[in-house]
Structure 1
Amino acid sequence: MGKLVIAIVVAALSVLFGERMVNFRKRFLASNELVNSHLPNCVALKNLGEYSGSEDITIVGNGRAFISTGLEYPGIPVTDGTGKIFSLDMQDPRMKPVELRMPRNFDLESFNPHGISVYTDETDDTVYLFVVNHPQHKSQIELFRFVEDDLSLVHVKTITHELLYSVNDIVALGVDTFYATNDHYFTHEFLKGFVELLLAQPWSNVVYYSPEEVKVVSEGYYIANGINVSPDKGHIYVADMLVHEVHVLERKEDNGLVPVKAVAVGSLCDNIEVQPDTGDLWLGCHPNGLKLFMFDPKNPPGSEVIRVQNIHSDEPLVTRVYADDGQVIMGSSVAATYGGKLLIGSVFHKALCCDLE
């Protein structure tokens, strides 16, 4: 009966939204040809596991990287392990991630980490880690304080709100303020993972959160995915995965966002990392969405890393820095650089560290 219902729904959608569904398939499949373009000295990071994933990675100023692993999300292959957060000292030549100790009063069994962001309090240099968590496939934000001396996390609080219903990624702006993307409109797994993708409507949005105010500040995205902020904190960047674009939005005094431009990146880009000294955007991207969601180990999804330079200029430079057909790394979701090295994370596969030159 279930298959019959699905068949009827698909048939009805095909009649009502035939042209839109054709356009969706073109976008989702992506049109760019993938030719392997590897970087020198790429090695898999130890300790993370072959199929634990490394969905998001962010690096703070002293070269310490934070890595979220173990994401379970509707429509993607299941990873091997439970949710964990790792730390990696990019200045240590061993390049060996260490699992951060979690607090005893935190529910580790349901921990399902997605996007992450780090905020350093300039008053006392305290490092706060914001983690998008999906226990039982719900959405909430976990706020941790990082203790460097014993490589542990102290759980500060859990943030929930009716506007944070399908959170993908987050960018922290203060100790308890942030912007977050909702990548879907529906919360039901079938509706968000199948029907909504077929309808391909611009129902995704960006939310601003503070203890005093929570509001939708930008909408009209097909799949709002990665989000980050410019080094001067004046602009927010949002990856609209389905239409292969990165949106540039100007921040206002009331924390609202005003669209400035959309830059075509030519792939289904996931998370965004911003290089502090240059303002360059680094994107982990999926060259073929269908391969990612219809996973076949004999025909694996490939990986791309795209760099956007001078994004605020009239002619931003979009460059493919790394490409692999899935034989080395499958489903790249993030890329972050520090000290001439590039970390590449994936939704459900390994993580790589490569030399940029």
Structure 2
Amino acid sequence: MKNMFKRSILGAAIATAAMASVSANAYTIGESNDSKVEVYGIVSISAVDYGKKDEGFVLENESRVGFRAAQAMTDNVEAFVQIESGWVLDEGADLGHRDTFVGMRGDSWGAVRFGRMLTPMYELVDWPYSASNMGTTFDRGWRSGERFLFDRKSQQVRFDSINYADMVNFSLSVGNGSSKTDDSTFYGAKVSVTPVNMLTLHAAFESATDTIFATGSDAAVEEDGTTVAAKADSVGDTDSFFAGFELRPMDSLMIAGAYKTGEYDADTKGSFSYDKREIDAYSIQANYYMGNANFRLGYANQTGDTDGQTDKELDFETVTGEFGYSFNSVYTFLRIAEHSSDGEGDTMVRVGTEWYF
């Protein structure tokens, strides 16, 4: 019995040693013990009255949360990932709805990302040139028939360069269009140049082919018995161009202006009645900073042609003003904007707060 016990102890020791040897030499993929992980977010909520008849204030919760992680691949290359939620709407917020991508970066060359993110051109259109609700006029990509560029787009590969000589940086992006076909493609690029400390110049373009701008519909029977015919998707090609500047003649003053133009050529009209549409827009603003306070005045304008004829339905205008104050990095603001189209205007009032964590 004693020898049997000794043999059992010996066998257990040998088995344990063998397992330890296997574990020590096993190949493990993706160990994350030394990864750098960050949880971040933006708190942003406001009460807004759009000035519509018989409508009052509503709460718009644009708060979001995200996760970032990074892992060194070599001494000079780092792998990284970001996953970010979307705005908090009535149905909640989906994780991954906003910028969600994986990539690699290096201090000597820049970064390449794969996934869902802002396009290079829209990154400029969105900020600062659409600030203080000027986007209602300057950024109308949300409206069917005026969607001449993408905003946040999946199926994208984007390269962002380093800042060369503290003066020039650029971004390039390619990807699928709005459908998974060989002919549906997307290309975009932007460049920023700072020739002197007080001035930064921006330029960008975006081109897409076989893009779905309005989805079709099946045939339907109305309550009165009439039949509504089916409609095909509205599919076409677009080209958009952008130029802008940011001027800071002194620390307390920033003036910014931008111009963008876009063109749509139909392949299949679908629910649209035209073959070609062109839209031009510009925005201009002045920001004055006084301690923790910020004063902003802005103006944006859009005009357009449909099939070569001036189209008043594409005329939009925004005049906006904002006063904001930062309470220990918690920015609270009052924003008033007059939006007008077809000779009619609506006065929007927004009160809100936002801060980062």
- Could you say which structure has the greater relative contact order, defined with CA pairs below 8 angstroms and 6 or more residues apart? 1
TM-score by length of 2: 0.35
Higher CA-based Rg: 2
TM-score by length of 1: 0.35
More strand by share: 2
